[in-house]
Structure 1
Amino acid sequence: PSSTIVIVPRIPSEFIGSEGILGTITMVELGLEKLPENIMTVMAFFPSEDDAVNFVYDIRDPETIVKMDFMEYFGPNAIEMIKEKASSAGIKVPAMKDDTKAIIFFQFTYAEEQMEEMIMALEVILNKNNTSSESSWAGLDWTELEKMKSVRHFVPETVNGLIAQRKAEYHEVHKIGTDMAVPDEALRDYLKFYRSTLEAQGMEYVIFGHIGNNHLHVNMIPRNNEEVKQGMNNYMMFAKRAVELGGTVAAEHGIGKLKRAFLEAMYGSQGISEMQNVKKSLDPKWIINRGNMIPVPADVS
């Protein structure tokens, strides 16, 4: 396709993120925006997780001329999944070494007259963090981007396959994937908190996702029913830690009915009560999306 869809909401801000509990959208107007003509897409391979995280901080510096469209992270366990899946499919991931410990997958747009300057600036930051353009997989067209996306999807595909296998024996097993995000200054500490907690427990896990806005997904992969309970306890612990750091418990996938306890961990009982009051003023009989995000008060039939 030559266009991408951009959704521009024209509804009160209170409705944004309310997951349908305050009203129903009956019509949506879409606008089309042309895709940029010039893109560079890169998978940069780093010898350590610290190098990858430092690269993210450096490239996000306001004075950096290379402005990212997106940045995604893949940690050590995710890389092992990529290697195994690529090997079984007979695919070679260009430039990735055996000692690669972290990947940052990113894209930026450029004007022809800026290309050389931007690539030189990028090279300086890559070199500062112990890698280089020669040690990265880079492409200049949408075809190469699609190839990289295919490799990116090796990770969730592998996780889903493991869960399906284990669920056949342990019926309570399911993927436990976090959705928290934290402020810029908390990224390093939060990532270390994830890893140290899970390593100490011996929980099988993989970390990947949208590091550009500090929104990493931790997929815990329980091996039995007991580990499902441990994983859910971890989720609450991770949610509370994100809130302590000034972050959010649901940066992308919403609250729904299953994550209401995490919303309360973020806003407290008083915050939930205030949301219930707003809901009641707009929907006194609690008809629309009953039970989503917030519980139905006892005085509502």
Structure 2
Amino acid sequence: MHTVAILAAGELLHFELGVAHEIFGNPPQESEGWYDVVLCGPGPVRVGPFTVEPAAGLAHASTADTVVVPALADPGTVPDDLVAAVRAAHEAGARVASLCTGAFVLGAAGLLDGRRATTHWAHAADLAARYPAAHVDADVLYTDNGSVLTAAGKAAAVDLCLHMVHRDHGAGIANSVARRLVAQPHRPGGQAQFVSTPLPARDDHRLAQVLAWAQEHLDKPITVTDLARRAHTSPRNLGRQFHALLGVTPLQWLLTQRVRRAQELLEVSDESMDAVALATGLGTAATLRRQFKRVVGVPPDGYRRTFRAALR
């Protein structure tokens, strides 16, 4: 069983710690094998308005497959024992992930040197200044360097944890966890190998129903006129709304949805490229290959082989 050690030392923020424990500590019904989660710390730890008692000491982290460092309440104060535990765990081969200001612990441990990293935008400049060997990107939700991962603030902690579930168990299970959380399926962190799929910040936004309808009909031809008609507006005004809300055109958004659906089908099914192209509204296998490679960076055949190999 894949073991996950959530580290608790100093004073932490309760949201990020709760997110990690909720996602990794509660298996969906359809999962086969899940995570064994242990809260590790030197003793009672202040977590927001609560005090928690870790089940194991920090030394236990060096035996874990994944180590999660929640957000520090004060990133200016990084506990030395937390830094030592993270460094030892990484040297032992653990995958290490930080949530929000937990990135400062990874920075102090030297794990961010030469790697892309992120944290809450309000602390990104400080992270870059304190650890100049890190490549800090304040514009992304999270970064994935393989064995070292970092997330931005609050909701991005959910995104990164779902991303790790996606890596470990596939899109279907990750989406099941997201549904339980009443959250969007895991959002990409911003790397080239993932598809950016911007969504409205609020479910009650005027475009929410239009986007939901489009996602349910990706196997059909959909034009900007179709979307505008559903939104009870003109195509030109719809384009302005998309740009203001999502920063992309309607057609750009629609293409990313089709490619993302193709990713999921390639991960969870053995359908042919022609069948995947039809199911995602991309028409032909040739169009699927062209658009998939342009957006994701690899051809769909290679993506499927790589993903299946990663699960074995």
The verdict on a shared fold, with TM-score over 0.5 as the criterion, is no
Which protein has the bigger strand share?
Answer: 1
Which protein has the bigger helix share?
Answer: 2
Higher relative contact order (CA 8 A, sep 6+): 1
Q: Which has the larger radius of gyration?
A: 1
TM-score using structure 1 length: 0.25
TM-score using structure 2 length: 0.24
